[in-house]
Amino acid sequence: MHNRYSRQQLFSPIGENGQQQLNEKHVLIIGVGALGSASAEALVRAGIGKLTIIDRDYVEWSNLQRQQLYTEQDAQEKVPKVIAAKKRLQSINAEVEVNAYILDASSEKLPELLENVDLLMDATDNFDIRFMLNDLAQKYQIPWIYGSCVSSYGATYTIVPGKTPCLHCLLKVMPNTTGMTCDTVGIISPAVQIVAAYQVAEAFKILVGDEKALRKTYLTFDVWQNQHYEMNVEKLRKEDCPSCGENPTYPYLSFENQTKLEVLCGRDAIQIRPPKPVQYNLEQLAVQLRPYGEIQQNPYLLSLQAADYRIVIFQDGRVVIHGMQDIQEAKSIYYRLLG
């Protein structure tokens, strides 16, 4: 029998035991954009037992420069990222069980998916969602690895509930990059790969149970400016932290649940989620919307190109209106087409 993991097993901190551990572990990656693609591929190649991926987007041409799991065909057909990712990941390693969910990370369904999850990997592009993940991780006592990147810059930090300060504890020391997003200042793929490499290395340590080896610093770098900083944050854990302190209230869990209408960060797009879940019949909807513009459709979503905007309607009722920044105008289009 060929042993596909032989080189990894020769690495003594993993060894045969570690490989066995990896094989039994379940990792949940939130977001399969650039970071999520990179860490999903690495974890699947490494032979983890089970991977769950969730993402709400479909593949676009502007993703291909850095989102390594996707192809031109995926962009052409607007395939949901998790569907394209799952197909690719299973062709890389059929032994790994891959579960894919077309889902918003702030969905009420997320807690259900946390059952028997050993590790959460952050691959989102949104701080509200990261703080929600941080609360979930504390509530369900699951380690998680924060990662973010934009431009030539990246940051990562490993959070182990009960042992390290949480993201909320670090709120005041984290560099403020609000307003900097991939859509405003761009991003280069090496920044993605460096963050993902650190995240995956930390993931291996957690999954094989080598906690002593975990990096205890908040790490940031700029690969273009040749900068690398590590901040020692061990003493920053706050006893009265609302997320990880003695009497946690998990403030970000209730905050996210109330959000129904959301402006997608820096994308010149507005997302609308209906207050109650719906199931659209996309075939029927296509007929109904034909007078409004050109329609493109696949089994998961329908896209309508109108004169001055493009609207994408997902089967579960979620809607993204591109080319739009005015919330009231977006609502009015929504009600006109779907109300």
Residue nearest to Zn ion (CB): 241
Binding site for Zn ion (CB under 5 A): 166, 168-169, 241, 243-244
Minimum CB separation from Zn ion for residue 143, in Å? 14
Beta strands 294-297 and 261-264, pairing class: unpaired
Is 223 or 233 the residue whose CB approaches Zn ion more closely?
A: 233
Minimum CB separation from Zn ion for residue 259, in Å? 22
Is 185 or 236 the residue whose CB approaches Zn ion more closely?
A: 236
Is 46 or 244 the residue whose CB approaches Zn ion more closely?
A: 244
Is 184 or 254 the residue whose CB approaches Zn ion more closely?
A: 254
Minimum CB separation from Zn ion for residue 217, in Å? 16
Is 39 or 243 the residue whose CB approaches Zn ion more closely?
A: 243
Minimum CB separation from Zn ion for residue 159, in Å? 9
Minimum CB separation from Zn ion for residue 148, in Å? 18
